[in-house]
Amino acid sequence: MKSTFLLIAFVIAGNLFGQQNPYVQPADSSKMQWFKEAKLGIFIHYGIYAVNGTGESWPIYNNEIPYADYMSQLKGFTASKYNPESWARLFKEAGARYAVLTTKHHDGVALWDTKMSDLSVVKKTPARRDLIKPYAEALRKEGLKVGLYFSHLDWSNPDYATVFDGKDRNPKNPNPWDYPKSGVEDTVRWNRFLAFNRGQLKELQEIANPDLWWFDGDWSRTAQQWKMKELRQTLLTWNPKAILNSRMQGYGDYVTPEQGVPVAGPQGPWELCMTINDSWGYRGIDTNQKSLDYIIRIFSECISMGGNLLLDVGPKEDGTITPEQSATLKGLGRWTKKHSEAIYGTQRGILPGHFYGPTTLSKDKKTLYCFVLDNPKAEVVVKGIRNKIKAIRVLGSNQDLKFKLNGGASWLNIPPVLLIDLPADQLDRNTTVIAIELDTPLELYRGEGGAVEKN
Ligand code: GLC
């Protein structure tokens, strides 16, 4: 009831002020600045699931693998070639400005020396060491912001499945990994779980003081059960500048669509998380890697709609990123470097209909960047620009392009169509970006055309 009311209130406020997304809190915009400008982050799902390539945590919940068999992967987790400096260099080369590492997935295995339980790679695997501090240090050395993924839920802690979700979501067939098998709630144990959860977060705070908390696994409890409001306050007391993703039952700062580019960009800050192949963690059998062209397309679409892309890699158990995934990141790096002007610090582009592809706009709105995803057969067309065009150039070579203005009806205030000549020798091997320089901030014709009524 209360949450429905809150949601409605947020939607109304959102409509009044134009920007607020109902699933997150109105974030302090100054702390969000680096995030909005970053555009690209790298997600790292690193954990014991890489040993046999079982896939992260879910086989436990779905009863695909007995818990003990899944956990037997602990014995094979060595981190023997763990080198976060080389990760950080690779991510930087890709053009990323931040990264997010799974400190603990739903399986409950901590990648640091937690004092709250014995289930960590330090105590239970041959790796025998903390992987979080060196990661945070390596990122900061390369000037990247530090993100920590943390699963609220924990299928290894017996105190987790001790209450229902208060919404009666699945009363007939409750999954015992989520809810009490006995059907009887035990709030004392649930409170003990919350203390465990807060204790682990405090440890991570002390180890890494993250710039961004990337939470997951909030779905089987309400905000009240999680005490999310208090958690938000606590995290912000530890570090007022910390950014929180939305998987906090309404108490985060930005929304996180997953695996599919939104058709229309969400309001406010957002980030699409997406795998390079079909798996979050390393799975040898998954060879369905997305092509670099496709990843660049997705990235361009995200930034065109004002979002970031958090591209996921799944390192092997020894800590190495596969040559295929490294090659994709390097290829992305060649492209982001050449086109950085159209990426970092730009803003949401123009609505579809003016140009057949993604666009971004410079801060002063005097440069419109058009991402030519498919090689053109004829001129590149842009409709509806009212401004005087100073010049048009290709990013990279900065060569001036010839253009023509066609049609329009000045007496009806309908601007002409812009036809740009993009020669084949100016095409990028992935996506070509054209910069249209305007004399004044972009003004668009958004009308439906007009009929001549008087001659
Ligand atoms: C989903 C999955 C989880 C994955 C996450 C990444 O929430 O449960 O396995 O880590 O997405 O966004």
Percent of the chain with pLDDT over 70: 93
At residue 1, does pLDDT exceed 60?
Answer: no
Which residue ranges have their beta carbon within 6 Å of ligand 1?
Answer: 56, 216, 258, 273, 280
How far lies 183's CA from each of 62, 172, 176, 278, in Å?
A: 20, 10, 9, 36
Q: What residues contact residue 150 under an 8 Å CB cut-off, 6+ apart?
A: 103, 104, 200, 201, 204, 213, 214, 215, 216
Secondary structure class of 287 (helix, strand, coil)? coil
Using one digit for the tens of pLDDT, what is the confidence trace for 326-342?
999 999 999 999 999 99
Q: Is the pTM of this model over 0.85?
A: yes
Tell me what pLDDT residue 453 has: 62
pLDDT over 90 percentage in the chain: 83
As a whole number of angstroms, the distance between CA 232 and CA 147 comes to 16
Is 347-438 a CATH 1.10.540.10 domain? no
pLDDT tens digits for 123-160?
A: 999 999 999 999 999 999 999 999 999 999 999 999 99
- With both helix axes pointing from N to C terminus, report the angle between 187-208 and 132-141 in degrees, rounded to the nearest 10: 40
Q: What band does 25 get if pLDDT is binned at 50, 70 and 90?
A: confident
19 pLDDT band, cuts 50/70/90, is low
Residue 352 DSSP class: T
Name the residue at shortest CA distance from atom 4 of ligand 1: 280
Q: How many CA atoms lie within 13 A of 348 on its CB side?
A: 14
Which atom of ligand 1 is nearest to 45's Cα?
Answer: 10
Residue of minimum CA distance from atom 8 in ligand 1: 217
Identify which of 151, 155, 175, 216 to mutate to test ligand 1's pocket (most ligand atoms within 8 A of the CB).
216
Cα-flanking dihedrals φ and ψ of residue 30, to 5°? -70, -35
**Ligand 1 nearest atom to the CA of residue 149, by list position:** 10
Whole-number Å distance, alpha carbon 216 to ligand 1 midpoint, is 7
Residue 317, judged by CB atoms within 10 A of its CB (0-12, 13-18, 19+), counts as buried
Question: Are the C-beta atoms of 373 and 261 separated by less than 8 Å?
Answer: no
For ligand 1, atom 7, the nearest C-alpha belongs to 216
Extract the tokens encoding 243: 């950014």
Residue-level pLDDT at 412: 83
455 contacts: CB under 8 Å, gap ≥ 6: none
Helix (H, G, I), strand (E, B) or coil at 61: helix
- Do 422 and 360 contact (CB within 8 A), yes or no? no
CATH top-level class of 5-338: alpha beta
Atom number of ligand 1 nearest to Cα 312: 6
Distance from the alpha carbon of residue 98 to the mean position of ligand 1, in angstroms: 18
412-415, long-range: CB < 8 A, 24+ apart:
412/450, 412/452, 413/445, 413/447, 414/445, 414/447, 414/449, 414/450, 415/383, 415/384, 415/385, 415/386, 415/445
Q: In the structure encoding, which two tokens stand for residue 380, read together?
A: 């590149």
Atom of ligand 1 nearest to the CA of 259: 12
- Pocket mutation for ligand 1, best pick of 249, 258, 272, 279 (most atoms within 8 Å of C-beta): 258
Q: Which pLDDT tens digit goes with each residue over 341-400?
A: 999 989 999 999 999 999 999 999 999 999 999 999 999 999 999 999 999 999 999 999
Domain ranges of the chain: 5-338, 347-438
